[in-house]
Amino acid sequence: MNSPDQLLGPESTSVHLIDDVDAGDQDAKIRRCQDIIDYQFSDETLLRAALTHASGASNRLASNERLEFLGDTVLGLMVCEWLFEEYPEYNEGDLTKIKSAVVSRRSCGRVACRLGLDRCLIVGRGVTRNRSYPRSLVSDVFESVIAAIYLDGGRDAIRDRIRDWLQDEVDAAVESQGASNYKSSLQQHAQRDLANTPVYQLVRETGPDHRKAFLIAAVIGDQSFTPAWGNNKKDAEQRAAANALAELREEPLPYPSGAAGESSAETSA
């Protein structure tokens, strides 16, 4: 099992904690956090609780642990809704992998540090002198702040902020977990059921050098499948593989040839 340090990744090795729970300092952290997240709380006690680690709370129920519990669910729901709307061509398995990567401790910790939420944490005296303190608290505060905004401002207040904060994480997860599955899945299917390996054939390219679009078809043996457009050859090949899988499964095409805004494309080189 990975340690909390490993889960946060190399980008998050510098966590900034201030070793006191002075009331004036707490107020400064609350103001700083509201500036960071671009949201002014009607009930600042929610944000104070969201930023308070158990070591800085009068009791466990006054810490951010309950808000973290709620925030984990709110984050998961918002990301699932986002992926469901934006990636209709992905199946349940792909969406689950992408979602898991986006809401992981590593991802949340990385975003929290990027925003500067680690500088807003309210912790108890001695925490920064204890080298064994859990670095996962940085990702925990991200979830607790999400819950605090949700409770204070409702669904609309947190939805767009989550999409803004996590856009890079979603893009990276889609690239590594989602789109790459189509070529891999087609290759497995072709080798297992058709005793052949897919190749990808450039059918057509359009546009100036700095904005080219490529129409590519997947070919297995003598069978050429409906080609798909992409802004680069890699994306076009992934989409061509998705089309081939859909045809083999007798499903609707996720990427008809005219989907890139071009007139109907040729279907053979």
pLDDT band at 234 (very low <50, low <70, confident <90, very high): confident
CB 109 within 8 A of CB 137: no
- Annotated catalytic residues are 72, 143
Query: What was the pLDDT predicted at 134?
Result: 54
Note if the pTM is more than 0.85.
Answer: no
Query: What was the pLDDT predicted at 93?
Result: 84
User: Is the pLDDT confidence value at 129 over 70?
Assistant: no
For residue 179, give both structure tokens. Answer: 């789109």
Residue with more model confidence, 13 or 142: 142
User: Is the pLDDT confidence value at 14 over 60?
Assistant: no
User: Is the pLDDT confidence value at 23 over 80?
Assistant: no
CB 39 within 8 A of CB 159: no
Q: How many CB atoms lie within 10 A of CB 100?
A: 14
Task: Return d(Cα 149, Cα 67) in angstroms, integer.
Answer: 10
Give the rounded percent of residues in the chain with a pLDDT score beyond 90: 53
Query: What was the pLDDT predicted at 127?
Result: 57
Query: What was the pLDDT predicted at 15?
Result: 44
95-104 long-range CB contacts below 8 Å, 24 or more apart? 95/178, 97/173, 97/177, 97/178, 98/170, 98/173, 98/174, 98/177, 98/178, 101/169, 101/172, 101/173, 101/176, 101/177, 102/166, 102/169, 102/170, 102/173, 103/72, 103/75, 103/76, 103/79, 104/7
pLDDT band at 55 (very low <50, low <70, confident <90, very high): low
Query: What was the pLDDT predicted at 257?
Result: 74
User: Is the pLDDT confidence value at 117 over 50?
Assistant: yes
Query: What was the pLDDT predicted at 72?
Result: 95
User: Is the pLDDT confidence value at 183 over 60?
Assistant: yes
- In this prediction, residues 112-118 reach a mean pLDDT of 91
Query: What was the pLDDT predicted at 178?
Result: 54
pLDDT band at 258 (very low <50, low <70, confident <90, very high): low
Q: What is the mean pLDDT of the chain?
A: 81
**Half-sphere exposure of 253 toward its Cβ, with a 13 Å CA cutoff?**
17
User: Is the pLDDT confidence value at 165 over 90?
Assistant: yes
- In this prediction, residues 64-68 reach a mean pLDDT of 90
User: Is the pLDDT confidence value at 97 over 80?
Assistant: yes
Query: What was the pLDDT predicted at 137?
Result: 77
Query: What was the pLDDT predicted at 211?
Result: 86
